[in-house]
Structure 1
Amino acid sequence: MNKLLITITVLIFFNCNSSAQQKQNEGKKPYKVTKTEAEWKTQLSAKEFYVLRQAGTERAFTSPLNKNYKKGVYVCKGCDTPLFKSEHKFDSGTGWPSFDREIKGNVAFSTDYNLGYARTEEHCATCGGHLGHVFNDGPRNTTGKRHCINGVSLKFYENK
């Protein structure tokens, strides 16, 4: 009898789904643009896939967008969502395109512990593509933020 009671208790314990677990799962909303891994691989180059879909990082000073000073808008390479405006771009000297602010509502944020400490990671709010990270060492005369973005995750549309 005791074994039966213990077995039932264990089964109930492991099969219960607490309200905290339910609330945690409810908070995750699917992105407006979702594709399979195979679909992303047909759309993106290997480097773009590595950065946008696998949260990789391009080598510093390799993006032609790093030294782009034209007027326009930077959009997500995965879904064309406008992410950053050229007037908010600055030369941080880090080797990646840097902005002091995002286009509100088009960039999502999460915490990344991949290097053993907390960093704020940036994603496209429409497709979830990894963009880069945001730091608190940007221009003090504006926002104080440095959105350090992988150029390979962006497309640039020049204002005519």
Structure 2
Amino acid sequence: MELLMIKKKTNRIQNIKLYKIIIFLILLTSFNIVRAQQKTGIGSIDTLIFDLKTNMEGYLHENNPPYVQDDIDLCIATLSDYVVKVLDTKSKDEGMKLVKATVLKLNELNEKCDYSLIETNEREQIAQIIILAGHEKNYNAIDEDITEEWREW
């Protein structure tokens, strides 16, 4: 009887520990999602980047495209890096050089992925992110496609 009581108490303690671990993991995951959304410091752009990543990952998991998670991560990192850097530029010329470099890098990545990483929806989202960041610096109008000159996607 005493052994049974000890066993029940041990099970309760293990369950409590398990619940604590689950709660910790949920909080950690929530924190990482929020942190990932705050990479550039501009909420609207961070949301666009997060949505783009979510859409690309959803497609990756539902289909069998010729790209992998690392390609998505590189695309997202390239865009986040662009936004941070363009916000730090001092002139429109400097900003436009950064736009060109970013678009060319995305062209190369898309080519590596057999031109399937950046499809119509992604193209619109990526262009919107690049345009919005340039607009934040007053380098372009909100409806001016500053990617078109170099874009192959």
TM > 0.5? no
More strand per residue: 1 or 2?
1
Identify the structure with the greater helix proportion. 2
